[in-house]
């Protein structure tokens, strides 16, 4: 029981974490509130479905293709729609909502509303710390963990990563040191969408793939970002796991009430925000400090 909660919570948390960290990254660097973030997550699931079930490609090749394609779509959306209106925050929010709805309708047109499924990457179960779980669930934790570590390594160990991090701190000063703010924004967009795509691809076998599957993760991702403190990637990461475990605990403790798992998680967010309005790891931005 306890082991099961640990593993399931890690799985749900890992998915929310890769979404929330990406969202925080774009928000921090480019000040873009990307409501289309989980739409990319949905796109990746559909791409994987198309590649494996419709085109019959090899699973791992399909995963790579869908992640690369979705990232390309994300960067194209940024270049085409978001870059020129970046200064106007309200317009950006409207634009991202429009993008999310457009993707949803596009998927409805292409695949209809029928629920689709994707086969697990590796079928079968595995025994671990005394419980038996599908290998797919372990893969979810493993793959998202590797991708999050890769993003962290990029941000903390490379020059370009440093450029991205300082843009998040003070755009104007960074610009005065010769760093192109549009370029760092694009890089963070690419990284964030790639993380969302990875999450979308790895969870596809455990989800029902449908055009509305972006809505629930969007709410939970938002909750994680707010709980962790807007703009803090570390906060988003930790908060995502908190919410993941809360959801899993609710399902395990009151199985007949599992439909309230989202509500309980959000209630906890509300309570914490009463105690710490800036979130767990809230950061103040340079321009707001003045």
Partner 1 sequence: MADAFFEVQGLTKRFGGLVAVDNVSFRIDQGEVVALIGPNGSGKTTLLRLIMGVLKPDSGRIIFKGKDITRHRSCDIVKRGIAGTFQVVKPFRNLPCIMNVMVACMVTKAKRGEWTKRLAVKARDALEFVGIADLSLERAAVLSHGDLKRLEIARAISTEPELLLLDEPFGGLNPAETDLLGKSMRRLHKGGRFGRLHSEEMVMLIVEHKLMDLMKIVDRVLVLNFGQIIAQGTPEEIASDNKVIEAYLGKGVILGAS
User: Is residue 24 part of the contact set for partner 1 (CB under 8 A)?
Assistant: no
User: Is residue 109 part of the contact set for partner 1 (CB under 8 A)?
Assistant: no
Q: Which is nearer to partner 1, 124 or 178 (CB)?
A: 178
117-122 contacts at long range (C-beta below 8 A, 24 or more positions apart)? 117/49, 117/205, 117/208, 117/209, 118/45, 118/48, 118/49, 118/52, 118/53, 118/204, 118/205, 118/209, 119/52, 119/53, 119/59, 119/205, 120/205, 121/59, 121/60, 121/63, 121/202, 121/205
Residues paired with residue 116 on neighbouring β-strands, in sequence order? 209
Q: Which is nearer to partner 1, 200 or 231 (CB)?
A: 231
Across the chain, which distance is largest between two alpha carbons, in Å?
A: 58
Q: Which of 54, 160, 253, 254 binds partner 1 (CB under 8 A)?
A: 160
Nearest distance, CB of residue 177 and partner 1, angstroms: 4
User: Is residue 163 part of the contact set for partner 1 (CB under 8 A)?
Assistant: yes
Between CA 218 and CA 232 the distance in angstroms is 18
User: Which run of H or of E encompasses 9?
Assistant: helix 2-30
Q: Which is nearer to partner 1, 85 or 264 (CB)?
A: 85
User: Is residue 282 part of the contact set for partner 1 (CB under 8 A)?
Assistant: no
* Torsion angles phi and psi, residue 229, rounded to 5: 100, 120
Q: Tokens for 117?
A: 């499924």
Q: Which of 3, 58, 112, 180 binds partner 1 (CB under 8 A)?
A: 180
Nearest distance, CB of residue 93 and partner 1, angstroms: 25
User: Is residue 288 part of the contact set for partner 1 (CB under 8 A)?
Assistant: no
User: Is residue 79 part of the contact set for partner 1 (CB under 8 A)?
Assistant: no
Contacts of 182 (CB under 8 A, 6+ apart): 83
Q: Which of 157, 255, 256, 271 binds partner 1 (CB under 8 A)?
A: 157
Q: Find the length of the chain.
A: 290
User: Is residue 170 part of the contact set for partner 1 (CB under 8 A)?
Assistant: yes
- Binding-site size for partner 1 (CB under 8 A) equals 21
Residue recorded with tokens 């969870």: 203
User: Is residue 176 part of the contact set for partner 1 (CB under 8 A)?
Assistant: yes
Q: Which is nearer to partner 1, 182 or 258 (CB)?
A: 182
Q: Which of 76, 173, 208, 267 binds partner 1 (CB under 8 A)?
A: 173
User: Is residue 162 part of the contact set for partner 1 (CB under 8 A)?
Assistant: yes
Q: Which is nearer to partner 1, 177 or 275 (CB)?
A: 177
Q: Which residues bind partner 1 (CB under 8 A)?
A: 157-163, 166, 169-170, 172-181, 286
């Amino acid at each position: 029981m306890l082991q099961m909660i640990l593993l399931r919570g890690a799985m749900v948390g890992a998915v929310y974490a890769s979404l929330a960290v990406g969202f925080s990254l774009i928000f921090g660097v480019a000040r873009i509130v990307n409501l289309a973030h989980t739409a990319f997550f949905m796109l990746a699931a559909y791409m994987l479905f198309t590649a494996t079930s419709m085109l019959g490609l090899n699973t791992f090749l399909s995963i790579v293709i869908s992640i690369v394609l979705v990232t390309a779509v994300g960067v194209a959306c940024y270049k085409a729609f978001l870059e020129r209106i970046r200064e106007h925050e309200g317009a950006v929010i409207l634009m991202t909502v429009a993008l999310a709805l457009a993707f949803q309708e596009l998927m409805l047109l292409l695949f209809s509303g029928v629920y689709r499924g994707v086969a697990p990457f590796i079928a079968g179960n595995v025994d671990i710390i005394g419980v038996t779980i599908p290998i797919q669930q372990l893969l979810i934790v493993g793959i998202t963990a590797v991708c999050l570590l890769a993003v962290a390594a990029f941000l903390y160990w490379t020059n370009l990563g440093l450029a991205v991090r300082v843009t998040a701190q003070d755009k104007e000063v960074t610009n005065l040191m010769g760093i192109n703010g549009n370029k760092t924004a694009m890089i963070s967009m690419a990284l964030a969408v790639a993380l969302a795509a990875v999450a979308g691809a790895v969870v596809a076998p455990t989800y029902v793939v449908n055009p509305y599957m972006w809505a629930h993760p969007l709410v939970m991702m938002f909750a994680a970002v707010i709980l962790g403190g807007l703009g803090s990637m570390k906060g988003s990461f930790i908060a995502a796991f908190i919410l993941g475990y809360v959801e899993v605990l609710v399902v395990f403790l009151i199985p007949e009430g599992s439909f309230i798992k989202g509500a309980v998680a959000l209630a906890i967010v509300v309570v914490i925000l009463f105690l710490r309005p800036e979130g767990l790891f809230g950061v103040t931005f340079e321009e707001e400090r003045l």
